[in-house]
Structures are given as structure tokens and as C-alpha cells.
Amino acid sequence: RTARLALDPAFTVGPVPRRLFGSFVEHMGRCVYTGIFEPDHPSADEDGLRTDVLELTRELGPTVVRYPGGNFVSGFEWEDSVGPREDRPRRIDRAWRSVETNQFGLAEFDTWARKVGTETMMAVNLGTRGLQEACDLLEYANLDSGTKFADLRKAHGSKDPFDIRLWCLGNELDGPWQTGHKTAAEYGRLAAETGMAMRSIDPDIELVAVGSSSRAMPTFGEWEQTVLELSYHAVDYVSLHAYYQEHDGDAASFLASAVDMDLFIDQVVATADAVRAKGKHTKKINLSFDEWNVWYQTRPHHAPGVQPWDVAPRVIEDEYSVTDAVVVGTLLNSLLRHADRVHIGAQAQLVNVIGLLRSEPGGEAWKQTIAHPFEQVRRLATGNVLQVVTTSDKYETARFDAVDVVDASATYDDETLTVFLANRDQEDSASVEVPLRGFGVDRVSNAKYLAAAEGQDRHTTNLEGDHSAVGLRPLQDVTVTEGLATVVLPPLSWAVVQFR
């Protein structure tokens, strides 16, 4: 298999948006409880935070973390999660049919986010609640003092405001499963009113309107159009959510999931820009891809034995394979390719629930396979994203027709050219030509790949043993001759190669 990239330092998509490499912590399953927070765990610190998970999270380095949901937020009463812990109520969480103890809440999340060194992206409940409660929460979080909710925060022990810049106006309200599901017109109006009211409290916040829960939603397109027509003046971003999985052993189509992500982004950009034109607006609405991942949604959501109204049940604890990691690498490529308009990304979710990380109650914590491409791209994508024209051999898929065998994205920061590559062919290696002329680079400074090692197959995960079966290995087969690099990718692999 062969492919050739065309790239030039002069042709850029735009600066790498730092918020592109975010993640998501929802009060769902064991993401919070026995995920990031477990006071009885041997590694717990003075705040009850698991330092083993904290350390792994710091290594991943999510630049922004969305909180507290997800479907959870559409029934969330934020007041339950603040103040003395002993006074906080246990509440049913309708979304995941579990019990929320509220032992971890806003102040605890703020502490965790500061220890990680990440930005908070806060979602408000526009399912069962509305404008007033969103404003109360914003006042509690961002105003200094002298008003009811700002003073309440101080009385609760948080002297300084949390100072949250990024706010989601609800979650997936286009979905019939969502508590408080709405029509686009109902939601668009509510988003506009709530957004304007929130801005009147803190003019510097950035607001994300709910977009479609997937490109397959029957209302996709029309939803974005109506919502943005009604709320364009009040919001900065529109959200996208997408989860991919392998259906009936069709790995070929699954490996091509980024084709759908590319299309989804292009179509939301087109819709937002059409509303911009029709409304004679000058500002652009950018995109917040604030839930994305591989998720085997057709499998049972709850683990065997989980009962309704359990606390921190095992919910969608997907174990990720080599194949899943390669797909995640291509989804990151898709986000980078659209860095001019996708300014925020949040991989869903951080730990246990379709997690980059896994942690056992009282036990170990480790990186899933998909954590590796996430961490590498977050660390190594710097400077500007380059326009990459890929000319690749193709392969047939049932869902997307003929698809490029090699998927690519690249960044350049005046010193280092970084190329992220995936080989979707399950049998053959792929030889990729990368022209280096014009970049002032002539040697390989770093080359790593992820693929099934000897004795493994594409289904191997990190569940067993010491949890490191699938990881990164040095990629040896990279040569540079007269301004042309040739990278040979093993079958079904993801790789990063840097040139200096």
C-alpha cells in the first residue's frame, strides 16, 4: 500500500486550538466516584482525590474538561452539590437510574481541575430548569462578593470565584432520551434568553449552544439552523457529539469513522455559515465537538448485577482495543484538519465511563489503548495545523464506499514538522511519502507507533496483566533522502513522526 502527502508551511488551516484536546467528567457510573474521587482509596489525597488517577490525567493533559454532564446535567440541581457535605441530599439521577450522593460537587471539581491544571467547561441544566438557575449558578461561580450566591460560595469556604469562562447551554436537548427534550424552536429561544441573561452577569463568558447528538439524528441540519437563527447573537459555539463503533465485525467501515466526522463538521460549518449569511451577521459561530469517542452503544449499558438506584454503578465501561485506538487516532486527525472552525474538543469521557483511563475501586488505575493517541496528539501538535492533501490507495467499505487507506494530519511550529498517520489496512503495511522541502527540517527526531505486537491481535486491550499490553513503540522504518521522507506504517496502526 502507498500514499503521498502534499504539504507546505505556507498552507495552514490555522493555529492548533489548545482547547481541542479536552475531555469530559460526567456524574455517570464510576467517572467521578471511584474514578477521580475515592476518599478511601490508598492513594487518596487530603481532598479525597485519587492521586494515581490525578497523575495519569496530568500525563494525558486534557486542556479543558466538560462537567458535570452529559445527560446527568439535564436533571442536576447544582445547589445540592455545594455547602457542607453532610447536608447534601442523595438524589435520584433519572438519566442513568442511579443515586447521586453529591459528595463531590462544584468546589470539589474546581479543586480537582486546578490540581490537574485544566480549564473547566461547565454545563447548565436546561432540561428540568432554566434561565434563573443558570444565572444563579454563574453568580455562585464567577462573581466575587456582595450578592446572594457569591456570598454563599464564600460562606461555603471558596473565597475566590471559580472564574469559569466556558459554559454549555444544556446537553443534547435534540434527543428524545434527554430529560426536558425540546424542539429546535423551543430550545433556540431558551438558549438565546439564557445566554443573554448570563452575559449580563459576566460579559466575558463564552457560550456553547446545543447542536445535534449525532449526524444521524432525524433533526440534524434543521436543528442547527433553527437553533442558530434564534440564538446567533447570544452564543459563540455550536456543539457536535459523535460516537463510533464496529458493527457486526465490519472493521473496514469502523476504521473509516473519521469520514463521517469530517462530513459532520463540514455540514455544521455550512449550516452555521448559511445562518450567518441569511442573518447578515458578521461574527462566525465556531464548533465545540464536546463529546466524541468510540462507544459500543449496542452492548448493554449496565454491567451484570447493576440494580436501579445503585451508587456509582458500572456503566458503559468499554474496554478499548488496538482497533479502537487507531480509530481514535483518525478522529483526532479529523479534529485537527478542521482546526479553523473546531475550536473546542472534549473526548468523552476521562475515566471508567468510555474512559481514556480505567480505575478499580480500591485498586489500580491505568491507561486504555485510546489514551495513547490522545496524549501524543495533545503533547505534539504545536504551532499551526497544515493543510494536508493525501493521495492514498483506497479500500472498499460498506458504509463509506472507497476510503483512503492512509489518514493524515500535520502541524508545524517553525522548528518541528509533526505528522500523525494511520494505516487502515488490516493486512498490509503502508509506505507514506512526506515531502520535507520548505520546512527547514532534515532528520527524524521522534517516531512512534501503536499496533498489535507479536502474539496480540487487533482486539487486544489493556485490561489484563500489568495493563500495558498495548502502547507506543519506536517506529524504525522512517528514512529521509533528499528532502523526502518515507514512513512505513505496519498494518492497522497509528503513528506520529516528527522531523527537525
Nearer to ligand AHR by Cβ, of 153 and 314: the residue is: 314
Check binding of 74 to ligand AHR (CB under 6 A): no
> Which of 26, 133, 139, 291 is flagged as catalytic?
291
Residue 157 is given by DSSP the state T
From 9-17, 67-75, 125-133, 137-145, span contacting ligand AHR (CB under 6 A): 67-75
The stretch near ligand AHR (CB under 6 A) out of 2-10, 68-76, 383-391, 464-472 is 68-76
Find the binder of ligand AHR among 22, 48, 62, 69 (CB under 6 A): 69
321 near ligand AHR (CB under 6 A): no
Site string for ligand AHR, 264-293 (x = CB under 6 A): ---------------------------x--
Cα gap 332→292, rounded to integer Å: 10
Residue 203 Cβ vs ligand AHR, minimum distance, rounded to whole Å: 28
Stretch that binds ligand AHR, among 65-73, 244-252, 383-391, 402-410 (CB under 6 A): 65-73
Active-site residue 427, yes or no?
no
Closest distance to ligand AHR from the beta carbon of 71 (Å): 4
Q: In the bound complex, what is the minimum distance in angstroms from residue 70's beta carbon to ligand AHR?
A: 3
In the complex, minimum distance from the CB of residue 134 to ligand AHR, in angstroms, rounded to a whole number: 18
Q: Which of these segments, 64-72, 152-160, 199-207, 443-451, binds ligand AHR (CB under 6 A)?
A: 64-72
At 457, list the grid cell.
491481535
H or E element at residue 6: strand 2-6
For residues 220 and 358, what is the distance between their CA atoms, to the nearest angstrom? 33
Among 172, 260, 324, 425, binds ligand AHR (CB under 6 A): 172
Cell for 91?
438524589
- Strands, sheet with 444-450, edge to edge from the N-terminal-most edge strand: 12-15, 384-386, 406-412, 417-423, 493-499, 444-450, 473-474
> Which uninterrupted H or E stretch holds 243?
strand 237-244
What separation, in Å, do the N-terminal and C-terminal C-alpha atoms of the chain show?
26
Q: Which stretch binds ligand AHR (CB under 6 A): 9-17, 63-71, 98-106, 146-154?
A: 63-71
Is there binding between residue 348 and ligand AHR (CB under 6 A)? yes
> Which residue number, 28 or 191, has a Cβ lying nearer to ligand AHR?
28
Report, in Å, the least distance between residue 244 CB and ligand AHR: 13
Q: How far is the CB of 352 from ligand AHR (least distance, A)?
A: 12
The bridge status of strand 401-404 relative to strand 394-397 is antiparallel
* Pair 421, 497: CB distance under 8 Å: yes
Rounded Cα distance, 265 and 456, in Å: 35
Q: For residue 134, what is its C-alpha cell?
A: 443558570
| Residue 29 binding ligand AHR, by CB under 6 A | no
Interaction between residue 461 and ligand AHR (CB under 6 A): no
Determine whether 246 is an active site residue. Answer: no
Taking CB under 6 A as the rule, does residue 136 contact ligand AHR? no
163 or 319: CB nearest ligand AHR: 319
Q: Tell me if 21 sits within 8 A of 377, measured CB to CB.
A: yes
Among 416, 452, 352, 464, which residue's Cα sits nearest to residue 34?
352
In the three-class reduction of DSSP (H, G, I as helix; E, B as strand; rest coil), residue 286 is classed as strand
Contact 214, 242 (CB under 8 A): yes
Residue 201's alpha-carbon distances to 123, 168, 192, in angstroms, are 16, 16, 15
Only one residue has cell 522512517, namely 478
The C-alpha atoms of residue 258 and residue 256 are separated, in whole angstroms, by 5
* Mutual angle of helices 257-278 and 222-231, in 10-degree steps: 40
Q: Least distance from C-beta 13 to ligand AHR, angstroms?
A: 27
The one catalytic residue in 26, 172, 246, 317 is 172
Interaction site with ligand AHR (CB under 6 A):
26, 28, 69-71, 171-172, 213, 291, 348-349
Report, as residue numbers or ranges, the catalytic residues: 172, 291
